[in-house]
Amino acid sequence: MIMSPTLATQATQTAAIACERPPRLDEFFKPLAGGPNLFDLPEKEWKSWRLVFNKGFSLDNLASFVPGMVEETLQYRHTLKRYAESGELVRLDFVTLRFTIDFIGRTVLNASLGAQTGKNVLADSMLSQASWQMPNREINPLEFLNLPRYVMQWVNSRRMDNYIGAELDKRFRAYQDNSIDATSKSVMDLVLQAYMDDSAKNKSSGIRPAVELDAEFRAFAISQVRLFLFVGHDSMSSTICYALHLLSTNPSTLSQIRSEHDEVLGSDVLSLPSLLVEKPQLLGSLPYTNAVIKETLRLFPPGSGIRQGARGVDLVGEDGTR
C-alpha cells in the first residue's frame, strides 16, 4: 500500500505502470457497470473517451447543473431537519446515499430520480447492487457460495440496463428530431453527442445514418452511465458523512465555516437557494470550505487506485530509496 504522495504520483501518472489496468479490475466492476468502462478500458480507448467526458467537468458546464443540484440539496436539508425535529435515530449514510444518487442523477442523466422522496428503479437497483458487492472476496472464499448475491446482481443489472436503455433511446430520438438542447453536457448527452458526431461523419461519406442506436454502442453507453452513477454517489456520500462528523467534533472549524458562508453568501438562509441559482460562481469563493472538504478527503479517502507492478519499474521515494 502506497501512502506517500510522491510515490503515488509516480505510480498513477508518470511510471510505465500508470496506465496499465491491473488484472481482475474488470471483474470487480462488472456487477456495478455491467461491462467495459472508463475504469478498466485499455489506455488507447480510455484516452479517446476521456476526452469526450472532459467536457462535462468544465466549470461552466457544472454551473449549468446548479439549479437541479440546489433543488436536491433542499430536499436533503428538509429530510435532515425532519429527523432532527423528531428525535428519531437514523443512519446518516442511508439518508445521504439517496441524496447523492439524486444529486449525481442530475449530472449523469440531466434528470431527477426522486430517490429521496420515493422509489426509483435505477436508484434503488444501484443502491442494492452496491450493497451486494463483495469487498472481502479475497479474504473469505466462502463469499463465492452466496447464490442469492448472483441472483440479485443479475436482477439489478437487468433493471438498470432497461431503465438507462429506455432513456438512451428516448434521448437519441430527440436528437434525431432536433427537439433537445444540444448544448447539454450530462454523461448521457456526451455519449450520445459523440455517437451523433460519428453518424454525421458517416453521412458525409455516403453512409446512411442509423435510425436506432447500434446495439454494441448502446451497451457501452449504458455501462458508462452506470459507472458514473455509482462512483459519483458513493464517494460523495461518504465524504459528506465524514465531513459532518469532523465538523461536529471540531467546533472552531465549524464556526469558521459558518463565518465564511455568512460573509460570502449572506446570513439569509431562505434566499440562499435563489442566490446560488443566480450566481453559481459564488461556490468558487469559499476557500476555507474547500480546504475542509480536501482535508476530509485526505483523512478519509473514499477510494483508492490500483496498479500492477512490473519488472524493471521502480518507484523512487523522497530519500532516493527504490
Q: In the predicted model, what is the mean pLDDT of the chain?
A: 85
For cell 430520438, the residue is: 173
Q: How many residues does the chain have?
A: 322
pLDDT at 137: 57
- Give the integer Cα–Cα distance in Å for 281 and 291: 17
Phi, psi dihedrals of residue 9, rounded to the nearest 5°? -60, -45
18 against 51, higher pLDDT: 51
Greatest Cα pair distance, the chain, in angstroms, is 67
Grid coordinates in use for 314? 521502480
pLDDT at 191: 84
pLDDT tens, 64-108? Answer: 889 999 999 999 999 999 999 999 999 999 999 999 999 988 888
The two counts, helices (H) then strands (E), for the chain are 13, 0
- Give the integer Cα–Cα distance in Å for 188 and 170: 11
Grid coordinates in use for 309? 507492478
140 against 47, higher pLDDT: 47
Residue 163: pLDDT band (50, 70, 90) is very high
CA geometry: angle 100, 102, 106, nearest 5 deg: 110
Grid coordinates in use for 313? 519499474
Residue 140: pLDDT band (50, 70, 90) is low
Of 314, 311, 260, the C-alpha closest to 290 is: 260
pTM metric for this prediction: 0.81
What residues contact residue 6 under an 8 Å CB cut-off, 6+ apart? Answer: 317, 318
What residues contact residue 124 under an 8 Å CB cut-off, 6+ apart? Answer: 115
Compute the CA torsion angle 57, 33, 12, 300 (nearest 10 deg): 80
pLDDT at 201: 62
Residue 230: pLDDT band (50, 70, 90) is confident
- Is residue 233 within 8 Å of 97, Cβ to Cβ? yes
